[in-house]
Amino acid sequence: MKLLLTSGGITNSSIKDALVRLLGKPINESTALCVPTALWGAPRSGPVSVPQLLHGRAWGGLTSLEWTSLGVLELTALPTIGEDVWVPWVRDADVLLVAGGEATYLCHWMRQSGLADLIPSLTDTVWVGVSAGSLVLTPRVGDGFVEWRSAPDDRGLGIVDFSIFPHLDVFPENTLAEAERWSAGIDGPAYVIDDQTAISVNGGSVDVVSKGRWTLLSP
């Protein structure tokens, strides 16, 4: 799977260009599925956040890009409809647009739905993560980003070998000093990124795409 791990979505031309490179074709020739599941696990999101996402008024307007088709993949529904129904939907999509919210809640439903098991076979699919949609692929998100009351711990899926501290300088508590304290409890390297930054992962290549501020913290 090809990954575009963002903090704020497709917020500038450099991140959009990185998306097109991963797709290998124009956006208007690509099909997308939007995954809003993480929003339900975040106490501050609320139901209004879902239509904001789907109408392109959030996360850098990633759902308002000129996709040839755009659908919704709600992970909490998948166990009730069967893999024979939803797996072809995922395999046919060029990109999964995975919204922010609560990363451990998203991780839980990726495992429960079976999507986590499917990921290794999706070699040509592009995963565009926003905030929690990016953190869920990391080894650990850090206790400070766990808001779901039923979360057993702060572990993600570990598909990449680095962690991510998102929204640098976007919120008062998301400072570099706080990121350094957060990283002390994380095993392994961690990228601290603002909303104008993304991490592109393609095979063994990891590239930072940014028109903003970022840093790499090593253990």
**Residue 51 reports pLDDT greater than 70:** no
Q: What is the mean pLDDT of residues 51-78?
A: 81
Question: What does the pLDDT read at residue 50?
Answer: 60
Q: pLDDT value at position 61?
A: 78
- pLDDT by residue (tens digit) across 92-141? 999 999 999 999 999 999 999 999 999 999 999 999 999 999 999 999 99
Q: CB of 134 within 8 A of CB of 166?
A: yes
The dihedral over CA atoms of 217, 143, 146, 70, expressed in degrees to the nearest 10, equals: 20
In our burial notation (b when 16+ CB lie closer than 10 A, e otherwise), range 108-133 reads: bbbeebbbbebbeebeebbbbbbbbb
Tell me 32's DSSP state.
E
Q: How sure is the predictor about 219, in pLDDT bands with cuts at 50, 70 and 90?
A: confident
CATH topology for 2-217 is Rossmann fold (3.40.50)
Distance CA 88, CA 33 (A): 12
pLDDT value, residue 62:
85
Q: Distance (Å, rounded) from C-alpha 139 to C-alpha 157?
A: 6
- Is residue 58 predicted with pLDDT exceeding 90? no
pLDDT value of residue 47:
60
Tell me whether residue 147 is exposed, middle or buried, using C-beta atoms within 10 angstroms of its C-beta: 0 to 12, 13 to 18, 19 or more.
middle
The pTM for the full model equals 0.94
Confidence check: pLDDT of 53 > 80: no
Give the whole-angstrom CA distance, residue 59 versus residue 210.
Answer: 16
What gap in Å lies between CA 182 and CA 185, rounded to an integer?
Answer: 6
Kind and range of the H or E run holding 52: helix 49-54
CA distance readout (Å), 119 to 7, 52, 90: 21, 27, 10
Report domain extents, the chain.
Answer: 2-217
At residue 52, the pLDDT reads 60
In DSSP terms, 215 is beta-bridged to: 192
Residue 178 has pLDDT above 90, yes or no: yes
Helix or strand or coil: residue 199?
strand
Residue 198 and residue 10: Cα distance in Å, rounded? Answer: 9
Question: pLDDT over 90 for what percent of the chain?
Answer: 85
Q: Please identify which residue in the block is written with the tokens 């290549």.
A: 205
Strand, helix or coil for residue 31: strand
* Integer Rg of the chain from CA: 16
pLDDT of 192 higher than 90: yes
Strand pairing of 214-217 and 31-35? Answer: unpaired
Amino acid identity at 31: T
147-170 pLDDT, tens digit per residue, is 999 999 999 999 999 999 999 999
